[in-house]
Structure 1
Amino acid sequence: MTVYVDNAVTLWRGRRWAHLMADTLDELHAMAQALGMPRRAFQDKTSGAHYDVDAEMRERAIVLGVVAISRHADRELVHRVIARAKAQGRGEAP
């Protein structure tokens, strides 16, 4: 199983943000905890189970073994990861 971080560079409040997603919620929460993120930062909307991470935290996640994915170069993989995150956000098992 794997934890992923996309290269979404959404500008918000003066910083760039990406999405931390995973094959399972357990993996996602464990990585978020390793990054020092509080559980209240978890977003389990139907848009997809994820944590928002800024550019600095994204780099720390990659150092910890998170797989960086590109919305442009890895489209098929990104679509699978997002579909899984959406299912998890709806409470469906991966």
Structure 2
Amino acid sequence: MTVYVDPAVWPFGRMLMCHMWADTLDELLGMADRIGVQRKWIQGHPTLSLPQARKASWVHFDISKAKRALAVSAGAVETDQFGGLEWQARRQIASTDPAIVLIGEARLARVMEARRARETQGSLL
């Protein structure tokens, strides 16, 4: 089981934020506690039982670059900007619902294509 962070490239005011997510809710909340991120900032909590939880399509925290560095020091795995989408796609592919598997496979194919396009752009510079 793992905690992940993508690059800090998402603007929020004058800050650059990143996403932090994990294979399990316990791991995610444990890392948030470890690096000093308040649980009230969770997004997409599956039960939305936390009244302050923001709606999102997946369970994660938006964290600052400084908190990202702390998470990486505490063992979080760094991904590229497509890491969250890939993680979601692989979870869908692992589903037992054939319709969800197809959605995950299509999503994963788009992620891989975006990565290839990005690599091609980089090699042209």
* TM-score category, normalised to shorter length: 0.7 to 0.9
Give the superposition deviation at 1:58: 0.6
More strand by share: 1
- The answer to whether residue 92 in structure 2 is matched with residue 82 in structure 1 is no
Question: Structure 1 regions of 5+ residues with no counterpart?
Answer: 85-94
Show the counterpart of 1:90.
none
Larger helix proportion, structure 1 or 2? 2
Work out whether 1:60 is the aligned partner of 2:70: yes
TM-score for the superposition, normalised by structure 2: 0.58
Percent identity among equivalent residues? 39
* Partners of 1:32 and 1:24 in 2: CA distance: 13
RMSD over aligned Cα atoms: 1.6
Q: Larger C-alpha radius of gyration, 1 or 2?
A: 2
Residues of 2 paired with 1:82 and 1:16: CA distance?
23
Partner of 1:26: 26
Higher relative contact order (CA 8 A, sep 6+): 1
- Which ranges in structure 2 are unaligned for 5 or more consecutive residues? 45-54, 92-125
Structure 1 runs, 4 residues or longer, greater than 6 Å off? none
Q: Name 1:89's counterpart in structure 2.
A: none
